[in-house]
């Protein structure tokens, strides 16, 4: 009998296994597809590998700005894809090595009782179960995925050539990343978003800024748009990015009494389901579908199994990153949410145009925006659009998690010339 059986080898399941192994539990990990789940195989890693190639191409094209003359740079998309696959493969092997001592079962799983799982035609016994099966792309009515004309974000990573023209339906995180990526690589890109602006839920000033930047890049941005009015014949490919849904089909959750809502597993603050020894973590159980949050939940679920509800998985300080060019990142409250909570806030900002390092690297588009409580001075949130935003947000995440006051950052000495000193300049 296993102490813990984890279903799903994505970021939640993988980190749960490492935590459980460290605690001395006998663990098995059940995965029907690849180790690493969406993040490693169809999400974070392969997309960012493509983004980096696009970034290098963009830099090469403007090399004369830095006094370097390079003639006729061109894209070898086949080589770009090979590099992408190499990175994914190397990381997968690293994850596989990290799972030594854990029984890996390559099979689909079906839970048949609170202590029994059917895998590969047999049953295994277990004291606890963690469901960590992740999510899948949502299909939009009238736009059925056919892997040829209409594709999802998973299928976009399998393209063998850069599409001549691309319509992206959905202007959220995923849609904006792909828009920037394929535009840089040479596609004629259009985005259709039903909301009044791109990146719904993001700071509105940031959303407006990226829209302006996209238009400068030649990306056609159509907001307040009913996609049913669009003629798909005008595009070589149609990429649908309207969100992701929990992937729990076929697990048998309802049969054993695990409560779900629209396929999402319902959990309490300790990541327990309606069955006491069955837990769930990551995209299948959380409305926050981010790999780093899934990893956090996976670890917290095991912590609560081992130490009897010792930690609530309720950390609200979750950074979000979008790998557009320029990058976007945020953490905590934005200005609108703070006002909705009835808070009186101060808003401090700094434009990268005033940063020495931003000028040195020739990336001056964007700004840092920091929200703090007016009475206490405590930092509540931050939004960044600009160079290395996805790295800079870590410092602000620590500051907000530690409930630091703006005055504490003002008193801190930042190195010069750096991008990080822009945080000091902002306040």
The verdict on whether 416 is a catalytic residue reads yes
Which member of 292, 311, 339, 416 is catalytic? Answer: 416
Q: Which long-range contacts (CB under 8 A, 24 or more apart) does 356-365 make?
A: 356/416, 356/417, 357/417, 357/418, 357/419, 357/421, 358/386, 358/387, 358/419, 358/422, 360/417, 361/387, 362/62, 362/65, 362/66, 363/326, 363/387, 365/209, 365/213, 365/326
Burial class (CB in 10 A: 0-12, 13-18, 19+), 97: exposed
- With CA atoms as reference, report the closest residue to 375 among 404, 395, 353, 346: 346
- Give the C-alpha separation, 386 to 391, whole Å: 11
Looking from the CA of 296 toward its CB, the CA atoms found within 13 Å total 16
Positions of E strands within 216-340: 220-222, 237-240, 244-246, 260-261, 264-265, 278-280, 320-322, 327-332
Instruction: Please count the residues of the chain.
Output: 427
Where in the sequence numbering do the catalytic residues fall? Answer: 416
């Amino acid at each position: 009998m296993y102490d813990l059986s984890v279903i799903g080898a994505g970021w939640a399941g993988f980190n749960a296994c490492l935590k459980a192994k460290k605690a001395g539990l006998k663990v098995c990990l059940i995965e029907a597809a690849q180790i690493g789940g969406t993040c490693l195989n169809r999400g974070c890693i392969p997309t960012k590998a493509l983004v980096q190639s696009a970034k290098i191409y963009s830099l090469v094209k403007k090399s004369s700005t830095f006094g370097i003359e390079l003639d006729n740079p061109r894209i070898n998309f086949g080589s770009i894809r090979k590099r992408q696959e190499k990175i994914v493969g190397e990381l997968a092997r690293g994850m596989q090595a990290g799972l030594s001592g854990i029984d890996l079962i390559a099979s689909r799983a079906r839970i048949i009782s609170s202590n029994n799982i059917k895998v590969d035609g047999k049953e295994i016994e277990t004291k606890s179960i963690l469901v960590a099966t992740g999510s899948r792309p949502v299909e939009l009515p009238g736009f059925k995925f056919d892997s040829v004309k209409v594709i999802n974000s998973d299928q976009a990573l399998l393209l063998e050539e850069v599409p001549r023209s691309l319509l992206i339906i959905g202007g959220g995180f995923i849609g904006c990343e792909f828009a920037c990526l394929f535009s840089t690589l040479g596609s004629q890109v259009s985005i259709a978003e039903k909301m009044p602006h791109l990146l719904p839920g993001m700071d509105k000033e940031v959303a407006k800024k990226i829209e302006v930047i996209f238009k400068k890049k030649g990306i056609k941005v159509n907001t307040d748009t009913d996609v049913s009015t669009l003629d798909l014949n005008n595009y070589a490919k149609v990429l649908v990015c309207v969100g992701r849904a929990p992937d729990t089909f076929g697990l048998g959750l309802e049969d054993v009494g695990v409560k779900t809502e629209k396929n999402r597993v319902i959990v309490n603050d300790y990541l327990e389901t309606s069955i006491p020894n069955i837990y769930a973590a990551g995209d299948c159980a959380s409305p926050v579908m981010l790999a780093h949050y899934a990893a956090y939940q996976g670890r917290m679920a095991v912590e609560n199994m081992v130490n009897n509800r010792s930690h609530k998985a309720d950390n609200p300080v979750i950074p979000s990153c979008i790998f557009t060019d320029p990058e976007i990142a945020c953490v905590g409250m934005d200005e609108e949410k703070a006002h909705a909570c009835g808070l009186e806030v101060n808003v401090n900002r700094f434009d990268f145009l005033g940063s020495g390092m931003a000028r040195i690297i020739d990336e001056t588009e964007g700004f840092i925006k920091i929200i703090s409580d007016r009475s206490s001075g405590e930092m509540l949130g931050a939004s960044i659009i600009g160079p290395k935003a996805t790295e800079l947000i870590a410092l602000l995440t620590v500051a907000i998690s530690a409930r630091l006051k703006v005055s504490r950052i003002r008193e801190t000495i930042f190195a010069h010339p750096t991008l990080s000193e822009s945080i000091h300049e902002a306040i």
